[in-house]
Amino acid sequence: MAAFVKSSCSWIPRFISYRGLSSLNSNLRDTKDLLIKYNGGTVDLVKDTTTGIATISLNNPGKKNALTGKMMVELADNISELETWGGGKGLILTGTEGSFCSGGDLDFVKKVLTPELGFQMSCFMHDTLSRLHQLPMISVALIQGGAFGGGAELTTACDFRTMTESARIGFVNIKMGVITGFSGGTRLTRILGQRKALDILCSGRSLDCNDAKTIGLVDLVIPDMDSLDKTKSWLIKNYCTWDTEIIRRVKQVTLAAAEMDIETSLARERILFSQLWGGPAQKAAVSKNLKHN
């Protein structure tokens, strides 16, 4: 059995020692410099300042939006930009050309097939998807066409998932001789519970929209036509009609409850509540007698 040591990222094999493990942030910068050399595709960000809804689109024409190293870096950069966007209410993560993401671009994968490079890529994507999940915006993944392997993992970093009628999603990593590398195993288990997640991950089977909705992985099934507009309308109508600061603080409350111990979460909730109490939104509601409307 291999010996293991504890790092700030996870339990890792002793033989991995790229530039030392004492500074994870420094290592992530090194990994970013490495990944960006593997060209192909783009990840495009559009921010709608009128609605407060941002859209991140995976775009790798002809490859069903499979991820390259460059695309991983651009996804991380887009999330960094959203972290500084104070007007953001919601985020839609989607793909182009009627597909979500087919996983890793095989041309890229073949060039990084070593445990060391796999570990670096995994740490980079864990950090990226954790920051996506922690954005103070309501996030939804629009699954159309196919979301497979790493592509399926991306969807688990969002708060909600919509899926078109003809789409399929599959955590097929096991069929490729690996397990989830982008944090999808942990996130899927938190969404579905251990038993259902084990079934999905070990079988490697793909799910249609009805199966995904039935087990609780998908929140809404929509027609194939105008799926982005329908997802945006659903997001705005159900979650993003309220004041921007209120939405962002509600998201922060739920994150704290899910990721912190209860006393820390309660303390965080008190602070977030007091920041809004007596503010413009509350005064406007009180003046209109909206308490029970």
Phi, psi of 57 (to 5 degrees): -115, 125
Q: What is the model's pLDDT at position 289?
A: 75
Tens-place pLDDT, residues 244-268:
999 999 999 999 999 999 999 999 9
Tokens (6 digits) for 84: 């500084």
Q: How confident is the model at residue 26 (pLDDT cuts 50, 70, 90)?
A: low
Query: Quick one: average pLDDT of 131-156?
Result: 98
Q: How confident is the model at residue 288 (pLDDT cuts 50, 70, 90)?
A: confident
Between 143 and 290, whose confidence is greater?
143
Q: What is the model's pLDDT at position 136?
A: 97
Q: What is the model's pLDDT at position 18?
A: 34
Q: Residue 237 burial by CB count (10 A; 0-12/13-18/19+): exposed, middle or buried?
A: exposed
Query: Quick one: average pLDDT of 264-281?
Result: 95
Tens-place pLDDT, residues 52-103:
999 999 999 999 999 999 999 999 999 999 999 999 999 999 999 999 999 9
Q: What is the model's pLDDT at position 25?
A: 63
Alpha helices in the chain (DSSP H): 24-35, 69-83, 106-109, 115-133, 150-155, 184-192, 194-203, 209-215, 227-239, 244-259, 262-276, 280-287
Percent of the chain whose pLDDT exceeds 90? 88
Tens-place pLDDT, residues 170-208:
999 999 999 999 999 999 999 999 999 999 999 999 999
Q: What is the model's pLDDT at position 190?
A: 97
| Single pTM value for the model | 0.90
Query: Quick one: average pLDDT of 264-277?
Result: 96
